[in-house]
Structure 1
Amino acid sequence: PLRYPDGPHDAETLLVNRSTGVRWIVTKEDTAGVYRVPADAGPEATSTLVEVAGVNAPANVTDGVVLRGGRGLVLRTHDIATVYDLPGWQRIGAFALPPQPQGEAITHEHGRALLITSEGLHPDVLRARIPRALWRQLD
């Protein structure tokens, strides 16, 4: 079990950096928070999440994905994607996603390509691309 250090939060985003094993939870609130899961967290005991200070996360994050190789990550809201570098969580920039009724999910396909979808029965899966200018800043 996991516990927030500052009380309960609404969250829909769990991120895993497969390159390092680091895990984060991003809250879905007007003032979003990013919390790191302790490396030693396990099912036997309750672990307290560690707030990642100074992250400028957008409000109402619905999902996120760590890019292959762990070079950065993308957080999405219903209509905007925000790109961050790793490990520092520095905001690189943001871009509009293709319109969807209620954009919810995102994953990294390959290169700059992302797949996005919304909730509901039979939602379309759309492709979005991280703008080249933002992608270059992750190198």
Structure 2
Amino acid sequence: MRLRLIISSLAALAATMGAGWEEEPRTIPASSWKTAFTWADPAIVESSGLYASAVHPGVVWTVNDGEGPVRLYAVGPDGKTRGVVTLPQATGVDPEAMGGAVAEDGTSWVYVGDLGANPTPRPDGILVHRFAEPGELGNQEVPSTTYRLVYPDGPHDAETLLVDPNTSHLYVVTKSEKGGDLYSAPLSLSAGRANPLTHVARLPYVISDGLLTAKGAMILRGYGKMWVWDRIGGQVTWTVEIPRQRQGEGVALTADGGALLISTEDALTPVYRLDLPEELRAEPPWLGAHVPVWAWGAGGGAAVVLLLAGLVVVRRRSAA
């Protein structure tokens, strides 16, 4: 009887201690990354954002950091540029991030976050440009819609735009030497007026890019490490060491949700790939909706076309 009481007491104590205990994050070493390809286009000099196409086989989109025309480079798994999209209705101040999602009507939307504070802060707010992926790749102009987002507490520098793949809800993460802050945009955006951002959480890390997965995980990268939260407002469950990069600022999830890609500034630099553990893999919702999604083959980025049964849902848009 006494032994049973002791065991029972120890079990109760363990349960009490465990109620407030958080499991230590698991770590993925930098050696797990492999080179997917190297940018072959010398015009890609400051890759600050990445997004894997939901329409084109093995293609990733990237944008240069800097003022002037907003140009998006569509790059194949061999590192060669397949096409350049210019947004004639947008003028870049400091583009820093990319993301995307497929809408219920099948349109594959790509978002470009003009969020940076270089050369000066932006009291009038930051800009997000949205365009539909064109059905054919090449050098072309594509119409876009611009949304202005305004912080509740004055201007900030930022390099991270998060797009929820399930809802297209946008979030912005600011950047400073002391860390950053996560802000939420309205679920429904207006192109005709400023859209107020709402503060969500303080983050103790310097963040240069990030993304949300279909499972709700938030993945944010810095210059030497990546952190994975189980959800917005949740806890860090994984840390990922990053290969040495001069100024790494881009991260994207592959189109099948099974791997990460990272880029850095400087021309002719490698893009690295990390195959995710099963717990972190997250197929986007349009994959389950019988959308043809283009996945990256292992060992350097050979494109593998996954032809899913059913009707084609993603509607390829022709350039205007």
User: Which TM-score band applies after superposition, normalised by the shorter structure?
Assistant: 0.7 to 0.9
Query: Aligned to 1:71, what secondary structure does the other structure show?
Result: coil
Distance verdict in 2 for CA 1:135–1:64, change over 3 Å = same
For residue 113 of structure 1, report the CA deviation from its aligned partner: 1.7
1:31 aligned partner, one-letter code: G
- Equivalent residues in 2 for 1:94-109 (5 A)? 94-109=239-254
Is the 8 Å Cα contact of residues 249 and 264 (structure 2) preserved in structure 1?
yes
Range moving further from structure 2, 83-92 or 34-43: 83-92
Unaligned runs of 5+ in 1: none
Structure 2: distance between partners of 1:96 and 1:112:
18
2:187 aligned partner, one-letter code: A
Q: Which residue of 2 aligns with 1:113?
A: 259
Displacement after TM superposition at 1:18 (Å): 1.6
In structure 2, give the amino acid aligned to 1:35: Y
Q: Which runs of 5+ in 2 are unaligned?
A: 1-147, 282-320
Structure 2 residue 180 is matched with structure 1 residue 32:
yes
Q: Shift of residue 41 of structure 1?
A: 2.4
Q: How many residues align?
A: 132
Counterpart of 1:128 in structure 2 is 274
Aligned residue identity for 1:37: A
Q: 1:60 and 2:60 equivalent?
A: no
- In 1: Cα distance, 2:180 partner to 2:273 partner: 26
CA contact (8 A) 1:62 1:78 kept: yes
Q: RMSD of the alignment, in Å?
A: 2.2
How far apart, in 2, do the equivalents of 1:95 and 1:58 lie?
16
Of 110-119 and 86-95, more deviation after overlay is shown by: 86-95
* TM-score, length basis structure 2: 0.38
Query: Following TM superposition, by how much is the alpha carbon of 1:95 offset from its aligned partner in structure 2, in angstroms?
Result: 2.0
Aligned match of 2:165: 18
When Rg is computed on C-alpha atoms for both structures, the one with the higher figure is 2
Larger RCO (CA within 8 A; separation ≥ 6):
2
Structure 1 partner of 2:218: 73
Over 3 Å counting, the alpha-carbon distance change for 1:129 and 1:79 in structure 2 is farther
Instruction: Report what 2:228 is aligned to.
Output: 83
TM-score normalized with structure 1 length: 0.82
**Matched letter for residue 66 of structure 1:** L
* Partner Cα distance (2:261, 2:246) in 1: 15
Give the drift of 1:112.
4.5
Secondary structure of the 2:180 match is coil
Q: Deviations over 1:28-77 (max 9, x none)?
A: 11220000001132111112100113x5x34321111222x243121001
Shift of residue 27 of structure 1? Answer: 0.5
Calculate percent identity across the aligned residue pairs: 35
